[in-house]
Amino acid sequence: MEELVGLREGSSGSPVSLRELWGPCPRIRRGIRGGLEWLKQTLFRVGEDWYFLMTLGVLMALISYTMNFAIERVVQAHKWLYREIGDSHLLRYLSWTVYPVALVSFSSGFSQSITPFSGGSGIPELKTILSGVVLEDYLDIKNFGAKVAGLTCTLAAGSTIFLGKVGPFVHLSVMMAAYLGRVHTKAIGESENKSKQNEMLVAAAAVGVATVFAAPFSGVLFSIEVMSSHFSVWDYWRGFFAATCGAFMFRLLAVFNSEQETITFLYKTSFRVEVPFDLPEIFFFVALGAICGVLSCAYLFCQRTFLGFVKTNRVLSKLLATSKPLYSALVALVLASITYPPGVGRFLASRLSMNEHLDSLFDNHSWALRTRNSSPPWPEELDPQNLWLEWYHPRFTIFGTLAFFLVMKFWMLILATTIPIPAGYFMPVFIFGAAIGRLIGEAIAFAFPEGIVAGGVTNPIMPGGYALAGAAAFSGAVTHTISTALLAFELTGQIVHALPVLMAVLAANAIAQSCQPSFYDGTIIVKKLPYLPWIRGRKISSHRVIVGHFMNCTITTLAKDTPLDEVARVVTSTDLATYFLVESTESQILVGTVGRVHLVQALQAEPPSWAPGHRQCLQDLLAGGCPLEPVTLQLSPETSLHQAHNLFELLNLQSLPVTSLGRAVGSVSWVELTKAISNLTNPPAPK
């Protein structure tokens, strides 16, 4: 039975239902309904991207904080067990080593059993995806759960394994953005937009950094520097909005949980603000940057070489292929045994967590001057008010422990990067750089105990400022980024060292970028992922290299007048995904491309009844509905290598045809470009 309708008295509008006409408070309900409709129209007028990015930032902040909360509880349980187990060295050693070994082996076994893409940092693969390459299942949502569980166990192992969170969390954020994008397209019934998806993935990378360090500015800049070679200004606001939402929510949760009184910085420092450094110290900061640059080159070379050795060695590669948890447990056992506090760990400040490492290294007082005339005892238990005592040994001195820490952590970190677990590698190199800066700062403070005289005023040296500069310089050199300087300021809330820190970062990058690929590019090289390298050097001679020098001249073309039996022979004898279509065999004028899949389908279809005497050719398949893709972009043999490289990077291309006066004369793909760039860097020996 249809619902009765009527008109209000004196109304000439559209009819309304009797339920609405006789219901309680009809005017109020109509007003609320109209207000909601107006709000809906207003919100959608603003743009749906805002809601997507805000949701992404809030979700990742919640996940990041929940992970930190769980990790902290597990680490506290480990410390309690080590403290309360008794005085037996055997029991204390077992409590120190079995805990991280179990966590790391579970992290490797669990994550790898669900999906093989959950191990490592994730940033090298993301760079490959954003360059236009499709890596199947890498952004699948099942990978998300495996990586969250595995990363939590990795970080719960503490500073024993000495691994971080940034890289995997960037990967997690991008996976979440991809999943939300798929849900959105299914909900509204639209087809996937590849360009739109890439914009959201770049913004998600910024969210990953921002929700780890509560640093939205450096998060956006770091994602730009690391993830993409070209960046659209249109994506700038997306990254900042999402990163700000994520960072704000991440710090707000700490306030809600009574960990902080208000939103503040992760690492509190007390640097002198009036005169943070004297003018002559600029030289020492630049020298520190140069030292960090040289050491980063050594680290990148050794790490890439050892990772390649592990992948090619018969025993290790077989162990990694058949039993990843066993390999992870063995490496974790070695690292945990070395960091055992009553043993070698006494000289590595092994009782400190990753955050406590930075808190102690950023101390603005000189440890060398403190211990010059006194020998404070090593506390039986960790003293939160005097973390610097973990770095002191009466027979080893501050300089000895810092130098020993750097030597040991250099190879221990390289070894840890080979473990097949979800783990980040930015935080370890950040702490390593802080230790380099601390050592240099302590040496300067010891050489000038009263400070450096400048303008008739003497101010004491602050080694914590050098630790800050060293952290930014070394991590920036390893990752080939400048944004680490801004990250150091956002982490500590101190910008008084802005100029010397930036100069140190620039000096370190100048050395590292001219000698070694970045950590992420080196991993791409070792894993043999498809990635277009940069043209390094940009010498004048490189601009003389043109496409005609390196293009692939042996191309397969199909003409419209090609007989079908010849088309079938070409399709079955080659494995190309697309074929260049030319107007005729004689003219070779390029008119478009035709896909292999479509050709096979058209050839296998039931042929129509041809007219008597008609010769079947490719033109008939095209007329019958076989799709033809027009060529909208093509190269000339006179196009320079730099122009071709810029086009491939800017548009995320895989290959382009080369034409001369409209005739198809060759093609250029990543293979030819990579080989040409390699010949520029390492010219072949003359025959």
User: Based on the domain organization, do 515 and 547 belong to the same domain?
Assistant: no
Please give the tally of structural domains in the chain.
Answer: 3
Give residue 423's identity as a one-letter amino acid code: A
Decide the pairing of beta strands 457-459 and 557-559: unpaired
| Cα gap 93→342, rounded to integer Å | 9
Which residue is associated with the tokens 């207000």? Answer: 35
User: Based on the domain organization, do 288 and 147 belong to the same domain?
Assistant: no
> Is residue 32 domain-resident?
no
| Cα gap 160→345, rounded to integer Å | 9
> Is residue 514 domain-resident?
yes
pLDDT at 82: 87
Residue 491: other Cβ atoms inside 10 A: 22
Mean pLDDT value across residues 124-147: 82
Q: Considering 470, 496, 527, which residue would you say is the last residue of a domain?
A: 527
Decide the pairing of beta strands 655-660 and 663-669: antiparallel
User: Based on the domain organization, do 221 and 321 belong to the same domain?
Assistant: no
3-state secondary structure of 291: helix
User: Based on the domain organization, do 309 and 399 belong to the same domain?
Assistant: yes
Residue 361: other Cβ atoms inside 10 A: 30
Alpha-carbon distance values, 185 to 132, 194, 316 (Å): 20, 12, 44
pLDDT at 474: 96
User: Based on the domain organization, do 475 and 335 belong to the same domain?
Assistant: yes
List b or e across 291-309, with b for residues whose CB sees 16 or more CB atoms inside 10 angstroms. Answer: bbbebbbebbeebbebbee
φ and ψ at 23, to 5 degrees?
Answer: -70, 165
Decide the pairing of beta strands 557-559 and 578-582: parallel
Is a pLDDT exceeding 90 seen at residue 428? yes
Q: What is the CATH number of the domain that holds 584?
A: 3.10.580.10
- Residue-range definition of the domain harbouring residue 403: 281-527
pLDDT-derived band at 19 (thresholds 50, 70, 90) equals low
User: Based on the domain organization, do 551 and 521 belong to the same domain?
Assistant: no
Indicate the length of the chain as a whole number: 687
Tens-digit pLDDT profile for residues 493-543:
878 888 899 999 999 999 998 888 899 988 888 888 888 777 765 566 667
pLDDT at 565: 82
Per-residue tokens: 264: 């503040």
266 DSSP assignment: S
> Is residue 265 domain-resident?
no
pLDDT at 461: 85
Is a pLDDT exceeding 70 seen at residue 43? no
List b or e across 613-650, with b for residues whose CB sees 16 or more CB atoms inside 10 angstroms. Answer: eeeebbebbbeeebeeeeeeeebbeebebeebbeebbe
> Is residue 60 domain-resident?
yes
> Is residue 12 domain-resident?
no
Mean pLDDT value across residues 28-35: 75
What's CA 324's distance to the chain center, in Å?
24
User: Based on the domain organization, do 252 and 290 belong to the same domain?
Assistant: no
pLDDT-derived band at 2 (thresholds 50, 70, 90) equals very low
- What mean pLDDT is reported for the chain? 83
User: Based on the domain organization, do 155 and 244 belong to the same domain?
Assistant: yes
Tens-digit pLDDT profile for residues 166-219:
989 999 999 998 888 887 777 666 666 677 777 788 888 889 999 998 888 888
> Is residue 453 domain-resident?
yes
| Cα gap 224→247, rounded to integer Å | 18
3-state secondary structure of 185: helix
| Cα gap 665→590, rounded to integer Å | 9
Residue 539: other Cβ atoms inside 10 A: 10
Which residues, listed in sequence order, are joined to residue 563 by a DSSP beta bridge? 617
Is a pLDDT exceeding 50 seen at residue 687? no
| Cα gap 609→402, rounded to integer Å | 85
Tens-digit pLDDT profile for residues 306-336:
998 998 888 888 888 888 899 999 999 999 9
3-state secondary structure of 189: coil
Report percent pLDDT > 90 for the chain.
24
Is a pLDDT exceeding 80 seen at residue 30? no
Tens-digit pLDDT profile for residues 57-115:
999 999 999 999 999 999 999 888 888 887 888 898 999 999 999 999 999 988 888 87
For the entire predicted model, the pTM comes to: 0.84
> Is residue 107 domain-resident?
yes
User: Based on the domain organization, do 441 and 474 belong to the same domain?
Assistant: yes
pLDDT at 597: 84
Mean pLDDT value across residues 403-409: 94
Q: What is the CATH number of the domain that holds 131?
A: 1.10.3080.10
Alpha-carbon distance values, 241 to 207, 244, 338 (Å): 9, 5, 44
pLDDT at 1: 43
Q: Considering 527, 560, 587, which residue would you say is the last residue of a domain?
A: 527
pLDDT at 519: 92
User: Based on the domain organization, do 546 and 457 belong to the same domain?
Assistant: no
Which residues, listed in sequence order, are joined to residue 579 by a DSSP beta bridge? 594
User: Based on the domain organization, do 614 and 505 belong to the same domain?
Assistant: no
User: Based on the domain organization, do 371 and 500 belong to the same domain?
Assistant: yes
> Is residue 143 domain-resident?
yes
φ and ψ at 552, to 5 degrees?
Answer: -85, 110
